[in-house]
C-alpha cells in the first residue's frame, strides 16, 4: 500500500486537480462493468430459458466484446486501486475480487460447456450448463455488491 501511494500513478490519479481524471476512470470502470455483467447476464438468462426463440449460437459473437469490457475494467480498476490503495485493507473488496475470480472462471466453463457443443440449438441444454449460468449471475451480483459496498466500510465494521 505504501509503495502504491508513492507512485506517480497514484499522484496523478488521486491528487490531480482536474475534474476529468478520476471521473473518467470511474466512468470507464462503470462502462466496462456494464458490458461484462450485461452480456454475461443476458447470455446466462438465455441459457436458463429466457427468450427461447433466440438461438444461442449467435451469442458467441459477443465474447470478444465481453473480453474488451474486461480489459477496460481491469485497467480502470487498477487505476481506482492506485487512487485509494487503503481500500485494499477492506474485507468487502476482497469479497468482490473473489466473486470476480469465480465469475470469470464460470464464464470460461460456461463457454466450454455450452458454446463448444456442436449440437447447440438442436436440443435441450445440459443441466451443468444451466447450473453454470445460474452461478454466473450469482457471482456477478456478488462482484457488483462487493464493489459498491466497499465504498462504505463503516457499514460493515471494516
Count other C-beta atoms under 10 Å from residue 111's C-beta: 15
pLDDT digits (tens, 9 = 90+) for 119-145: 888 888 899 999 999 999 999 999 999
Residue that the C-alpha cell 502504491 belongs to: 4
CB 36 within 8 A of CB 66: yes
Directed axis angle between helix 127-149 and helix 21-47, to 10°? 160
Burial 82-94 (b: 16+ CB within 10 A, else e): bbbbebeebebbe
pTM for this prediction: 0.87
Intra-chain end-to-end CA distance of the chain, in Å: 17
Helix (H) or strand (E) holding 44: helix 21-47
pLDDT digits (tens, 9 = 90+) for 12-51: 888 887 878 888 999 999 999 999 999 999 999 999 999 9
**Res 157 pLDDT > 80:** no
CB 110 within 8 A of CB 140: no
Query: What is the per-residue pLDDT for 22?
Result: 86
pLDDT digits (tens, 9 = 90+) for 85-122: 888 888 899 999 999 999 999 999 999 999 988 888 88
Of 39, 139, 137, residue with least CA distance to 99: 139
Give CA separation, 151 vs 1, 80, 143, 154, in Å.
Answer: 17, 12, 13, 9
Q: Give the span between the Cα atoms of 25 and 14, in whole angstroms.
A: 11
Amino acid at each position: 500500500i505504501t509503495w502504491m501511494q508513492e507512485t506517480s500513478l497514484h499522484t496523478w490519479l488521486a491528487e490531480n486537480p482536474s475534474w476529468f481524471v478520476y471521473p473518467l476512470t470511474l466512468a470507464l470502470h462503470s462502462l466496462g462493468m456494464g458490458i461484462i455483467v450485461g452480456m454475461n447476464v443476458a447470455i446466462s438468462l438465455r441459457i436458463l430459458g429466457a427468450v427461447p426463440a433466440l438461438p444461442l449460437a449467435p451469442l458467441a459473437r459477443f465474447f470478444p466484446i465481453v473480453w474488451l469490457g474486461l480489459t477496460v475494467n481491469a485497467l480502470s480498476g487498477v487505476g481506482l486501486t492506485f487512487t485509494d490503495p487503503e481500500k485494499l485493507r477492506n474485507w468487502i473488496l476482497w469479497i468482490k475480487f473473489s466473486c470476480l475470480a469465480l465469475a470469470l472462471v464460470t464464464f470460461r466453463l460456461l463457454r466450454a460447456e455450452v458454446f463448444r457443443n456442436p449440437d447447440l440449438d438442436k436440443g435441450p441444454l445440459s443441466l451443468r450448463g444451466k447450473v453454470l449460468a445460474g452461478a454466473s449471475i450469482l457471482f456477478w451480483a456478488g462482484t457488483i455488491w462487493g464493489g459498491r459496498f466497499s465504498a462504505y466500510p463503516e457499514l460493515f465494521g471494516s
